[in-house]
Structure 1
Amino acid sequence: MKTELNKLFGDFVSIFFPRECGCCGCVLKRQEKFICVACDFHLPYTNFHEYSDNDTARQLWGKAPVEEACSFLLLQKDSRVEHLIYQIKYNRQPFLAEYFGYQYGLKLLKVQAYQGIDFIVPVPLHSSKFRKRGYNQSAYFGRGLSRAMEIPLREDILIRKKATISQTGKGRLDRYENVNDVFDCQPTVLMANVHILLVDDVLTTGATIVSAALTLLASFDCRISIVTLARA
């Protein structure tokens, strides 16, 4: 009886506050959670986690010594994924990042290359941007991965010491110069040869995540693997 009442109440609320798909904006059906069945079917999932020689890994070769690297989705202009990233970053829906992080974490659990990771570190926002946005979307993505993989999320290690202007519209060289020396590590003691999974929302040129990885490698005796929600 209580379950039926809850369903009726949920249907009543949805009339005035309909839940929308995070990828296309259509009204979700009762059994759909964050994205609709059509978007789930049509989203450009990469399957990069299934092989080490993937496009994300290749993009980082020669820039930072990482163990493994992969991205969950392909990002193209005017696409479902672009709408999703916009909702996450600018429309106060970071739970979408956590949802996709959880889904990807379940897949990474089955891959030998992502076994033995000690903890997850999200690429941080500068405090000024964090105050303005109210959350770090990369941390939410990391939370989803953390829940699925049962690996601790550490937001207390890597910090962003400099505020940078937006990377949008910048060329490859300008992007690298824009994030040069912007990260630092909090003083902490980590075990030797610790394996860190560094995570971010979107990989474009790789400038930001490479800078973050190099900062961690310079500060600790560690190995780095990288996972992003999407790559351009």
Structure 2
Amino acid sequence: MLLIVHRLFANFFDLLFPTLCLGCNKSLGANELVLCTRCRINLPETNKHQEPYNLDLLNKFAGKVPVQFLASYVFFTKGGIVQKLIHGIKYKGQKEAAKEMAKWYGYLLISESNLVNEIDVLIGVPLHKSRFQQRGYNQADWIAEGLSEALNVPMRADVLIRKRFNESQTRKNRLERWENVKTVFSVNNADEIKDKKIVLVDDVLTTGATLEACAIELLKAGCKSVGILTLAATHR
């Protein structure tokens, strides 16, 4: 009886306050999460997990830091659905959306690639503690957690540390971004990553400067290799 009442109340609540698709703002169906079926089908997937060793992508890091592989789930374009999703994830508290989308990507990686064999530990790009307190969460950690659940590999949020607060990267070019982050990160608990295949996780791949700075510190700390997975990537 209590279960029936609970379901009736839940249905009534959903009727009054429907969960909306983050893409088109229409009400989600009973089995839909984050996006309606139409918006999810129309996500601009990159399919880069099918060619994660493609030099066109890895050239972002060529001559700077050895990156084992690089793949992103969807393309980020200004004014597009992915920009809207990333904005909600970063600035509107929609961390559960980050985790759910990462799980979608994780299941895709399992079914269409062998990348899970290249991962011992997932590590999200960290926020400075002041930014974390302001936002209340680190979206990269939620993405890493979703990937961790789907791929059945561990994630760690206590290894890579952002030791210094730095200004936003949004309006900076490649060189300015690198200068802004090159001394920002350090490694804690280095024994946890020694001789392990580490995969860095972030929300959007743009110039790669932040990921490069993280990878350098992880490799200096003794990990075996560094790969990169992001939820989104800008077009080259």
Mark yes or no: TM-score above 0.5: yes
| Superposed CA offset, 1:26-78 (max 9, x none) | 22122212211111111101110011217543433333201111000100011
Q: How does 1:72-221 map to 2 (within 5 A)?
A: 72-110=73-111, 111-190=113-192, 192-221=194-223
| Runs (5+) with no aligned partner, structure 2 | none
Offset, 1:158: 0.3
Moved more, 59-68 or 90-99: 59-68
Alignment pair present for 1:18 and 2:44:
no
User: CA 1:30 to 1:193, structure 2 compared with 1: closer, same or farther past 3 Å?
Assistant: same
SS class of match (1:35)? coil
Is the Cα–Cα contact under 8 Å of residues 23 and 83 in structure 1 kept in the other structure? yes
Identity among equivalent positions (%) equals 39
With normalisation by structure 2, the TM-score equals 0.92
Other-structure match for 1:66: 67
1: CA distance, partners of 2:26 / 2:88: 13
Aligned pairs, number: 232
Q: CA separation of 1:119/1:191 partners in 2, compared to 1, >3 Å: closer, same or farther?
A: closer
Tell me the TM-score normalized by structure 1.
0.93
Partner of 1:59, secondary structure, is coil
Unaligned residue ranges in structure 1 (runs of 5+) = none
Alpha-carbon displacement from aligned partner over 1:1-48 (angstroms, at most 9, x marks no partner) = 777655433321123322011223222122212211111111101110
Query: Counterpart of 1:231?
Result: 233
For 2:191, what is the secondary structure of its paired residue?
coil
Q: Quick one: structure 1 residues 192 and 174, their matched pair in 2 at CA, closer, same or farther if it must change by over 3 Å?
A: closer
State the 4+ residue runs in structure 1 displaced beyond 6 angstroms.
none
- Match for 1:144: what amino acid? G
Moved more, 61-70 or 91-100: 61-70
Asked if structure 1 preserves the Cα contact closer than 8 Å seen for 2:205 and 2:232, the reply is: yes
Distance 1:221 1:90 in 2: 32
Instruction: Tell me which residue corresponds to 1:28.
Output: 28
Q: Is the 8 A contact 1:109 1:115 kept in 2?
A: no
Aligned amino acid, residue 95 of structure 1:
E
> How many angstroms apart in 1 are the aligned matches of 2:46 and 2:91?
24
Say if 1:56 and 1:231, in contact at 8 Å, map to a contact too.
Answer: no
